[in-house]
Chain A
Amino acid sequence: MDNLLKLLNQNARLSAKELAILLNSTEAEVSAAIAEYEKAGIIKGYQALINWDKTASSPVFALIELKVSPKRDMGFQEIANRVMQLAEVESVYLMAGDYDLAVFVRGATMQDVAMFVAKRLSTMDSVLSTATHFVLSRYKQDGVILNGDEQEDQRAQMVL
Chain B
Amino acid sequence: MEPKCIVNHYLEQVKPSGIRKFFDIANEMEDVISLSIGEPDFQTPWHIRQVGIDAAEKGKTWYSPSKGFIALRTEIAAYLNRFDLTYSPEKEILVTVGASEGIDMAMRTLLNIGDEVLIVQPSFVCYEPMVQMSGAIPVIIETFAKDKFKLTAELLREKITPKTRMLVLPFPSNPTGAIMNREELEKIAEVICETDMLVLSDEIYCELNYSSTPHVSIASLPGMRERTIVINGFSKSYAMTGWRIGYVAAIPEMIDVMTKLHQFAVMCAPTLSQFAAIEALKNGQADIDYMRSEYDMRRRYIVDRLNSMGLDCFEPEGAFYAFPCIRSTGLTSEQFCEKLIFAKHVAVVPGNAFGDCAEGFVRISYSYSLKHITEALNRIEEFLKELKQEATN
Contact = CB atoms under 8 A, between A and B. Distances in A.
A158 B371 contact: no
B37 A159 contact: yes
B304 interface: yes
A158 B27 contact: yes
Contact of A157 (B27, B174, B298): B27
Contacts of B368: 153
Interface in B1-60: 23, 26-27, 32, 34, 36-39, 41
B130 interface: no
B266 interface: no
Contact of B349 (A22, A153, A155, A160): A160
A21 interface: yes
Given A11-B371, A157-B347, A160-B349, A21 B304 contact: yes
Interface size class of B (residues with CB under 8 A): 20 to 34
B256 to A, nearest CB: 32
Contacts of B125: 160
A21 B374 CA distance: 13
B79 interface: no
Contact of A159 (B36, B300, B370, B371): B36
B297 A22 contact: yes
B63 interface: no
B53 to A, nearest CB: 18
A156 interface: yes
Contacts of B371: 11
A15 B19 CA distance: 38
A137 interface: no
Given A11-B371, A22-B297, A23-B297, A159 B304 contact: no
Interface string A30-61: 00000000000000000000000000000000
Given A153-B41, A157-B26, A158-B34, A21 B300 contact: yes
A24 interface: yes
Contacts of B83: none
Interface string A64-98: 00000000000000000000000000000000000
A112 interface: no
A18 B303 CA distance: 12
Contacts of B32: 157
Contact of B36 (A3, A7, A158): A158
29 contacts: A11-B370, A21-B300, A21-B301, A21-B304, A22-B300, A22-B301, A22-B370, A24-B296, A153-B34, A153-B368, A155-B39, A155-B41, A156-B27, A156-B37, A157-B26, A157-B32, A157-B37, A157-B347, A158-B23, A158-B26, A158-B27, A158-B36, A158-B37, A159-B38, A159-B39, A160-B124, A160-B349, A160-B353, A160-B354
Interface of A: 3, 7, 10-11, 18, 21-24, 153, 155-160
Q: Which 7 pairs between the two chains have the least Cβ-Cβ distance?
A: A22-B297, A159-B38, A159-B37, A21-B304, A157-B27, A158-B36, A21-B300
